[in-house]
Chain A
Amino acid sequence: MRKLWKLMALLFALSLVAAACGNDDDTSGDAPSEPTEAAAPATEAPEPTEVVEVDPTQGCDKTYHVITHGDSGTFWSVVEVAVRDAAAAIGCEVVYFGSNNDALRQAQEIEAAIAAGSDGIAISLADPAGVQSAAEAVVAAGIPLYTLNSGVNNYKALGATTHIGQTETVAGNGAGERFNALGATHVLCARQEQTNVALEERCNGLAETFNGQVTSEFVGLDATPDEQQNTIAAILQGDESIDAVLGVGPNLPLRALAAGEQAGRDLIIGGFDLSSDLIDQIEAGNVAFTVDQQQYLQGYLPVILMHLQATNLNTAGGGLPILTGPGFVDTANAADVKALVSQGTR
């Protein structure tokens, strides 16, 4: 009986670890790497995040809704600030709602917005199937529909005017061009997860535009930072030709920096997303750049575009998505961005 329990314990531990590994996405970065998985389930009971009412200041009679799957983390708080800023700019009422990864709540809120007679609705498509019927109802009601952040593959089918976001491949392309300009010849694309499509796309995008050789390797989870550093150092020592590292998250560039020191190599280091430590290192000139998807634009632009469509019948995008990235933070703008980060708009 005792042994049976122990066996079950092991199985349980296995499934547990699988669950824990799965969770890595949720906490994989300051600004989460994959927007669709940005919202981490917090410890408290999942309750809908607050509804932000922005008071009209210029007698505008339009009301717009931005309804996302976002949570209250840093990434989405920047989007929320952007929505509020855009509302102030046009002087209309804009309602922001983040469903904390709950597609059902998101769909209900979209239907409520239709019923309230919204003049424009912007949604994120983290779970396209979950909100599909609600989104179709928006179009059927003749309300302009925009998608933001995630949904670049589905916005057209749903009848949205355009999509405002970033594609991972294009972000990787941008990083590749940066490395070309910096004179790198062999880039190690270091991944912190082994089977994350978004991270793979970043590395593939890098390989598309980079002129030299690209080696894409998994170097250990964010949960084991010492392993990441030592694995990168080992790869550097195993292949003498590597002269640059792209870490596809905010932590890996820092690990690559330490690994380069360990292996006695002068590296050109690039990263993804922002964190205070990373910006400090960029400012110090130790990390060349980091790719920023500029989520502020993903909150600001849909509001402005919906307002223009409602008041001036403009349709932006021309059937193509509007890309908010890749933006870059490097030595030139690190100090400014640092200030903006604490201000909550980067």
Chain B
Amino acid sequence: MTEATSTTDSAASSPPVEDERLAHRGPVQQLLTRPEIGALIGAVGVWLLFWLVSAPFGTAGGTANYLDVAATLGLMAIPVGLLMIGGEFDLSSGSMTGATAVIVVLLSSDTAELGGAGLSLHLAVPLSLAFALAIGWFNGTLVDKTSLPSFIVTLGTFFILIGAKLGFTKLFTNKVIAEGLDKSGGYEFWDNIFGARWVRNNHVWENDGWTNLWSSRDWAWSGLLIIGAVVLILGTMELAYARREKPVLGGYFVFVIGAAVGAAGYILLLNQDSKSSNWIFGIIMGAGVLVAVAGWCLARYQPAEREPAPTEHDPRVIQFLITGVVAIVGAILIAAVMDSNNADRLDFLTGTPGRAVLAIGIGATGVLAVLAALGRVSVGYPAIGAVVALIPGISYMITVQGARAILFGILAIAGVVLLSIAARRRGLAALFTLLTSVGIVILAFFIQSEAGSRKLRVELFTALLLIALVLAASAVTRLIAARRTSAPPPPIHGPLARQIGTVLGLAAGLLSLILELADGDGILYSIIMAAVKGGIVAFAVFALATLYRTVFTSDESVGRSLVFVGLGSVMLGISARLMFITSEELAATKAETRFGVGVMLFLLFAVVGAWVLARTQFGNWIFAVGGNKEASRSVGVPAARTKTTLFMLVSASAWITGMVIAFRLNSVQANVGDGNEFRYIIVAVVGGCLLTGGYGSAIGAAIGAVIWGMITSGIGFATWNSDWRFLVLGALLLVAVLVNNYVRSQAEKVR
């Protein structure tokens, strides 16, 4: 998210106080005004929920599963999102994915046996791309020339494609399925491209333990993760706090000592598993980290003025405080009875009591709706009745474990949020943050002592402790250092480092490409892997340069680079964990975890889409034509060309998606993809794209697709009743959009 402020500012509107363009916004505030923030929070929440209720969801296999669902959705949702930012819709995008697949199968399959045209795939695949691009061009040109709304035009192509798919499939094969792709000429070559995949089970990275850290997967990935988190925090501090003219060297000394103690505490904590030692080493680690943070602040940042004393007494602070404490205590109680081994169906409010609650709920909704219509009560009240009516449904829908996890999550989050609201109203944010982190620590130890499953006892415990630590550290910083008051200088990304990184990255990528191709891996697969490896090399050079700038220069713009490096190494760590298997794990599993070429392309699309939107002229054109076409045209944006390009981009992605589907299934039913255009639009909206155009994000659309994937797969992993699938999906999507809306409006209000 290094492009945090570049393009979205124009869409944000708030009354200028002094000159809001020059006002400083802290890194957190910048993040909160991003379009994808709601989706991001939603994604984290959904992941946590399913991770709590189901054992396999958080594993590499589970991740591959939901990423795979997200990939075919996201490959389309990202370009559809761009098109929506450009102010248009493409209703033909869903059926286009199936159409390209059907075309390839029909063109290539054997004439005699399967009723196709019998062309070689070397001809059929490019022809289908040409077809897709032609339809995209047709859509764009027609929309531009006629000035008709794009949904009317693309609705026409939508129906034409559906009809043509079915008609031609039945005409040629006398069936509704086009079959026999693997019997076509050139199949091997193209299957290497679109059917390629990374099979985790074939990539073993041993755990050699202490003796050889580099050849140990777990040390590598957790090391990358921790380094990434630390760098990320440093970068955030850099962006938020005012620099000293000259660093105080004594502070660095304190930092080094604190960091050493913290690291030692962490390593000891990992290697011990008794309750008493956990307490001791946990405290050592926490103290070390806090000392390190304080030292770093002393060294680099100006000392803070004291926090302003609360000017007036706000009675609601007490309410927030009490409710927050009660919520956290409730979460602790629920945590005490949580156990993921318990997967029984929930059994409350079924039968007569359930019907009674349902009746009460419906009745209350009706009465409250009438009262609301008469203006006696607020419009929101009928919703309460509706929620009551829905309660019996929960018992049919999910397991005991699921209900506990949901309650636990809601209460814990509500508690923290309420406490922080109380803190802000009281003007004692730092103090309250410390208290909150104490609350989280208590929660963590309760789970550790009570939970039956290892996942909760160890993983959730560690995660909660780390969260508490970060909270406490941020509180300490706030007490010690003064915030920035002016906008940071524009980022200078170290041109020399960038050049060296580019050259080395290209070289590494090329070398890898040659080696992979020599190994006989698929072409597209080889290219992607080469790009990944080249990217890692370039990233490493950039990271080293950033490290140099942080320590040896007084360059104030280093904060953004640090955030970028931190995020990058966190992602690298997670990827290493997901993509490599240890022989121990390999022996324990029969399942084969694969990441298809679709998943890699999906991630690539997300990155490229974000880059195009934030950093290129074309990205600015997209925002401009979506905001106001005529105005953009009059300032020299080629509006027609931009929109037509976007339509063609959508069809080209539909072609890629169609190929991925066709080469996976080998046979394509005529209705594949129909109705999906709706999903693409939903996913883009969840990711923060506005239906009215001119605002949105490619990363957001990608996150939206991942949310969709996590929910559809997660319900299966959690063995919840699939009859309620769309209810869960709908509720969660609604929550994501509402959170998005609320958080953004709050963040902009603060500014």
The chain A residues found within 8 Å of chain B, CB to CB, are: 2-3, 5-7, 9-10, 12-14, 16-17, 20-21, 23-24, 27, 29-30, 40, 42-44, 72-74, 77, 194, 217-227, 230-235, 237-239, 250-251, 254, 261-265, 275-277, 342
Contact = CB atoms under 8 A, between A and B. Distances in A.
A3 B180 CA distance: 46
Given A223-B674, A276-B179, A235 B719 contact: yes
A73 B174 contact: yes
A29 B175 CA distance: 9
B166 A238 contact: no
A218 B591 contact: no
A238 B716 contact: yes
Contacts of B175: 30, 73-74, 275
B191 interface: no
Interface in B640-680: 661, 664-667, 669-678
B718 A74 contact: no
B404 interface: no
A77 B167 contact: no
Complex A-B, nearest 8 residue pairs according to Cβ-Cβ distance, in ascending order? A234-B716, A264-B590, A264-B591, A43-B163, A43-B167, A9-B151, A20-B675, A235-B716
B534 to A, nearest CB: 29
Contacts of A73: 170, 174-176
Given A221-B675, A225-B661, A13 B179 contact: no
Given A24-B671, A230-B66, A238-B719, 15 more contacts: A5-B149, A10-B681, A13-B151, A16-B155, A23-B162, A42-B170, A223-B673, A224-B72, A233-B716, A234-B56, A262-B61, A262-B594, A264-B589, A265-B591, A276-B667
Contacts of A40: 166, 170, 176
B672 A238 contact: no
A241 to B, nearest CB: 10
For B151, B176, B713, the residue with the greatest tally of chain A CB atoms inside 10 Å of its CB is: B176
Contacts, number: 178
Contacts of B723: 194, 218
A230 B69 contact: yes
Nearest to A344: B174
A237 B691 contact: no
A3 B712 CA distance: 32
B483 to A, nearest CB: 39
Interface string B592-613: 1110000000000000000000
A81 B428 CA distance: 85
Contact of B678 (A13, A233, A238, A342): A13
Given A30-B175, A222-B671, A223-B672, A10 B713 contact: no
A234 B677 contact: no
A275 B177 CA distance: 8
Contacts of B714: 234
Nearest to A14: B678
23 contacts: A20-B162, A27-B166, A30-B177, A44-B167, A73-B170, A74-B174, A217-B716, A218-B723, A219-B716, A223-B674, A224-B672, A225-B664, A232-B716, A234-B717, A235-B717, A237-B56, A237-B61, A238-B54, A251-B669, A254-B665, A262-B592, A262-B593, A265-B591
Contact of A231 (B179, B661, B672, B716): B716
A21 B68 CA distance: 23
Given A27-B669, A238-B716, A277-B666, A17 B151 contact: no
Nearest to B158: A16
B664 A226 contact: yes
A27 to B, nearest CB: 4
A275 B69 contact: no
Which of A3, A223, A277 has most B Cβ within 10 Å?
A223
A223 B717 contact: no
Interface in B705-748: 709, 712-719, 721-723, 725-726
B180 A220 contact: no
Contacts of A265: 590-591
B661 A230 contact: no
A42 B166 CA distance: 7
B25 to A, nearest CB: 29
Given A27-B176, A27-B669, A29-B176, A234 B691 contact: no
